[in-house]
Structure 1
C-alpha cells in the first residue's frame, strides 16, 4: 500500500465501533487526562458530523459507538488508591466511582459539539441470553437513531471472574457484531502490529493482515514482540480475529492516529474480513461466555450436533458435570472429553441425570409436557469443532 492510497473498507463504513484503552485516557500518575479525552472526542465528533470528505460525494454522518476503558483508573485517586488493586472487591469499588467520572468527562467533552452520550454497561452473562441480548441491541440501536453516542463498558461493579469478558478489546469486537458495525477501530498506545520488537532495527509495521497466514512466524504478545511485553497485543489480535471472522474489518493503531485511521489513511494495521456475519448471539456464546458445567454426549449425539447442527436431546446425553442452572452456558463433550460445542442448557444439573438416555416422548408421558424439550436447543448452541 502506498502512502496516498486510502482504505476503501474504512471509507465505506457508516457505523463504526471505536475502542480506546485506559493508557490512552489517563495520566502517568493515574486519573483521567482531560486533554486526552478531549482530543479523542474531537476526532470522533468530527467523524460523526461530517463523515469522510474523501468519498467525493455528499457528506454522510458516521454513527459512532465508543467502547471505553478507564473506569477503574479514574476511580483510584478519589478512593485514595495509589495503584490498581489486585482484589476484585476493590477493583469493583474503583469502577463504581470511576465509571461516573468517565461518563461525566465524555458528556462534557461531546457537549462541545452538541452531542449527547448514553452509558451502556454490559456483562458477558447478560449478552449470552436471548432476551438480554435483544434488549442490549435495541438500546444501542435507539441511541444511534436518536443521534446519541453510546459509551460502552463492561459492568465491572457486578461482573465476577466467571462472567467477565476479560478485556475490552474482545468486548469491542462483540459490540461491533451486536450493532452490525461496518468497521472496528482499536486505539491504544501501540501504533500497529509489528513483525518484531519495534525498538530494534530491521523490524517493520505490518500494514495489512488478510488472514492467519500473514501472522505465521510472528510471536504476538511475548516480551519484546509485536510492540508490547505484557500480552496486550494478544487481546487485540484476538479481537481482530473475532471481528474479521464475523465480516467486520479492523484497524489497529495508536490513539494519536485516530483521525488518520478514520480517514482511511495508511496507519496502523488493517485486518481484512475473513468470514461472514454469524447468527447474532452465537458469536457471544462462543467468545463471551464461561461454561458453568459440561454434559457428555454419545457418538450419535455428537454427530447430530456437530454435523447436522440439530438440538441436543436427553437421549444422547451420557453424563453431567458441574452445578449449573437452567439457562447457563455448558460445554458439550464427546466420549473422550473433548469440547465439541457450547450451549445454553434447559435443565438444572440436579434434574438432568434422571433424564439421560430417555426419549422426550417418554419423559413427557411420565413427568409432564414441560419435559418434552431439548437439553440444548440448536438456536442456543454453537459448534466449536468440525
Structure 2
C-alpha cells in the first residue's frame, strides 16, 4: 500500500530539481541470472539515457527467503555492479565508519579503507541508522561487496551527500580492492544462499586462501547441512570463520566416506569420478570478514 505514496514522494522531491524518476523492482535472480541480468541492465541503462533516475527496491511480491537480498545496502552493492557504477554512496545518520561505537569516548572516524587489513579490530555492533532496515554491519558488508567487485564506496551521513559527491573529507571512503567480478563469481560470493558448510583443516584453509587451489576431500574434517551437487556452500575454519564460498561437486550424503582421504585412494577404492575436487577453484570465491551462521 505504501509503494504508490513512496514513489509519489520521490517524484515530488526529484521534480524540484527537474528530474524524473522511475521505479524498478528487482530480485536476487535479476542480478545474477544471465537473461534477467541483461534485461535489468538494459532497462536501467535506458532509463539513465533518457534522463530518468531509477528508484530501485526489492520485489517483495515474488522474493522468497532463498532468493532475497535481505537489506537495501546489499541490494545497492549488487545493483552498483549491475550498472557498472563508478561509485556507490551509502547514506545513514552516522558520519562514517568508526573504529569503535561512536558513543564510546575516544572513538575515531575511519577516513579511508584501502585494504581489508584496515578493518582489523574495528568493532561494529550497533545500527547504522534509526530508520533503515539494516545497520552499520550491513553497510560494511555492502561496502566489502562493492569494493571487492571494482566499485568505490563512500559511507556518509545523509546531510553530507553534497560534500561526499564533491570529494570532500567526510564519511569513510572505501577504495577499490579488486577488479570487477564476473556475474558468476558475484553470485557465488554474495547473492546465492549457502546450503551448508564444509569445515576445513588448517592446511586446506591455507591452500584455499592462496587463491589457486581447489578444495580436495583430504582437507575437509566435517560436513554440515543438507545440500546437493551444484549448491553453494560455505568453506569455514574449525573456529567457524568463513574463508570462502563455492559450488560443491557432491551431495552432502556422499561426503562422509570421502573426508580426509587422498584422491588416489578414493579412485582406487570407489572408482572413477570420486577423485575429483569437492570444490573446483573456478567455482570458489574467497570471503573475508564473515562468521559462519549457526
- CA distances 1:139-171 after superposition (whole Å, capped 9, x unpaired): 222222232211111222332333322222122
The aligned runs of 1:76-91 (5 Å cut-off) are none
> Could you tell me which residue of structure 2 aligns to residue 164 of structure 1?
68
Corresponding residue of 2:89: 185
Counterpart in the other structure of 2:218: none
- Rate the CA distance shift 1:222–1:375 in 2: closer, same or farther, 3 A: closer
Specify which of 118, 121, 125 is matched with residue 23 of structure 2.
118
Matches within 5 A, 1:260-339: 260-292=163-195, 329-330=232-233
**Matching residue of 1:236:** 139
- Assess if the C-alpha contact under 8 Å between 1:174 and 1:284 holds in 2: no
Structure 1 residue 213 displacement after superposition: 3.1
Q: Is the CA contact 2:146–2:153 (under 8 Å) kept in the aligned structure 1?
A: yes
Q: TM-score, normalised on structure 1?
A: 0.53
Contact 2:27-2:69 at 8 Å conserved across structures: no
Distance 1:227 1:214, change over 3 A: farther
Residues 19 and 52 in structure 2, CA contact (< 8 A), matched pair in contact too:
no
- 1:96-245 equivalences under 5 Å are 97-112=1-16, 113-123=18-28, 125-199=29-103, 201-222=105-126, 232-245=135-148
Decide whether the 8 Å contact of 1:120 with 1:150 is kept in 2: no
What CA deviation, in whole Å up to 9, does each residue of 1:175-224 have, x standing for no partner? 2122111111100111112233434554332222222333333312259x
Q: CA deviation at 1:131?
A: 2.6
Is the contact between residue 130 and residue 281 of structure 1 (CA under 8 Å) also seen in structure 2? no
Structure 1 gaps, min length 5: 1-96, 313-318, 364-373
SS across alignment from 1:162: coil
Given that 1:345 and 1:376 are in contact with CA atoms closer than 8 Å, whether structure 2 keeps it comes out as: yes
Shift of 1:378: 7.7
Larger % of helix: which?
1
Partners of 2:146 and 2:121 lie apart in 1 by 22
What is the 5 A alignment of 1:19-30? none
Normalised by the length of structure 2, the TM-score is 0.67
- The alignment's C-alpha RMSD in Å is 4.7
For 1:133 and 1:377, how far apart are their aligned partners in 2?
Answer: 25
The residue number in structure 2 matching 1:50 is none
The alpha-carbon distance between structure 1 residues 381 and 212, as it changes in their structure 2 partners (threshold 3 A), is: closer
Question: 1:262/1:290 Cα in 2 relative to 1: closer, same or farther (>3 Å)?
Answer: same
8 Å contact from structure 1 (residues 194, 204) kept in 2: yes
CA distance in structure 1 between the aligned counterparts of 2:6 and 2:31, rounded to whole angstroms: 23
Mapped to 1, the partners of 2:79 and 2:86 lie a distance apart of: 12
Which structure has more RCO (C-alpha within 8 Å, separation ≥ 6)? 1
Contact kept in structure 1, 2:101 and 2:125, CA below 8 Å: no
SS at match of 2:66: helix
Partner residue in 1 for 2:219? none
Q: Alignment length, in residue pairs? A: 276
Partner-residue secondary structure (3-state), 2:122: coil
